[in-house]
């Protein structure tokens, strides 16, 4: 497929799935079985199929119904071709009671995920909603301390002005954790990140005590969504698609 330079602009997608009943067992099996498939997808540069925690995702208890696919594509064309035409991906959509995909461009990224930084930044208009991914591999000796802070921090996040959506996700329970959150604007996100007393305290502890063996922080500009979550599209009022 001949793509122009503009069409080859890297695109990041994050897809949330909810599975009920026997379909929850099906997706749980895919966590291991699907690895070889995703490695062969044309135009896919990086991916992670992750589970989530209980409640809003920020819990040591697992949620066997909600899963997330993070994908980094060489272009939007590559992403849409896979989502719309892949026979392998069709059961993910048909078995899920609901699914929601967000298309994003990276505006800022630093750190590493599985040894690399998969996100290439692009100049972007940040006057609208902002998405954030934070990810860390927690050192074993700090697991207990880390999880003693998570419930309070996540509760604080959901109560912040400008918060649209947030969920705690991860590749492996308790050890590799990520947060995906959506904010009405950059100012709302920064107010939480830098002015929340509890959040600032956790950041300071991670720096002084070295809780993580690997971490990554990235900002994105969401520009398109497909599907719904909990019966609605949380970004509908902020985007024109």
- For residue 158, the model assigns a pLDDT of 57
Q: What is the pLDDT of residue 165?
A: 92
Q: For the chain, what are the domain ranges? A: 6-227
Instruction: For the domain covering 6-227, report its CATH number.
Output: 3.30.70.100
Q: Which residues contact 187 (CB under 8 A, 6 or more apart)?
A: 162
Residue 241: how many other CB atoms lie within 10 Å: 11
pLDDT (tens digit per residue) in 24-48: 999 999 988 898 899 999 999 999 9
Burial class of residue 80 (count of CB atoms within 10 Å of its CB; 0-12, 13-18, 19+): middle
Helix (H, G, I), strand (E, B) or coil at 39: helix
- For the stretch 155-189, pLDDT in tens is 555 557 889 998 888 887 666 788 899 999 999 98
Please give the backbone phi and psi of residue 79, each rounded to the nearest 5 degrees, phi first: -65, -50
Give Cβ neighbours of residue 197 (< 8 Å, ≥ 6 apart). none
What is the crossing angle of helices 143-158 and 197-209, to 10°?
Answer: 160
Mean pLDDT of 47-65: 76
Torsion of CA 203, 209, 212, 216, to 10 degrees: 30
Mean pLDDT, the chain, rounded, equals 84
Helix (H) or strand (E) holding 28: helix 22-33
The pLDDT of residue 122 is 85
What is residue 3's predicted lDDT score, i.e. its pLDDT? 37
Is the Cβ–Cβ distance between 105 and 219 less than 8 Å? no
């Amino acid at each position: 497929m001949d793509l122009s330079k503009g069409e080859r602009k890297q695109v990041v997608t994050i897809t949330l799935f909810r599975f009920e009943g026997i379909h929850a067992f099906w997706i749980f099996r895919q966590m291991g079985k699907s690895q070889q498939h995703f490695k062969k997808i044309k135009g896919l540069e990086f991916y992670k199929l992750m589970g989530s925690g209980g409640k809003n995702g920020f819990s040591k208890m697992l949620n066997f119904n909600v899963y997330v696919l993070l994908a980094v594509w060489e272009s939007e064309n590559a992403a849409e071709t896979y989502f719309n035409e892949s026979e392998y991906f069709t059961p993910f959509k048909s078995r899920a009671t609901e699914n929601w995909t967000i298309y994003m461009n990276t505006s800022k990224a630093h750190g590493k995920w599985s040894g690399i930084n998969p996100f290439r930044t692009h100049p972007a208009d940040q006057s609208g909603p902002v998405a954030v991914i934070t990810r860390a591999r927690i050192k074993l000796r700090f697991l207990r301390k880390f999880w003693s802070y998570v419930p309070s921090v996540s509760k604080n996040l959901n109560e912040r002005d400008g918060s649209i959506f947030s969920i705690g996700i991860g590749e492996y329970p308790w050890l590799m954790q990520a947060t995906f959150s959506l904010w009405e604007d950059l100012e709302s996100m920064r107010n939480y990140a830098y002015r929340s007393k509890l959040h600032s305290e956790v950041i300071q502890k991670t720096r002084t005590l070295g809780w993580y063996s690997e971490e990554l922080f990235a900002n994105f500009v969401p520009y398109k969504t497909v599907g719904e979550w909990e019966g609605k599209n949380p970004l509908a009022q902020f985007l024109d698609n």
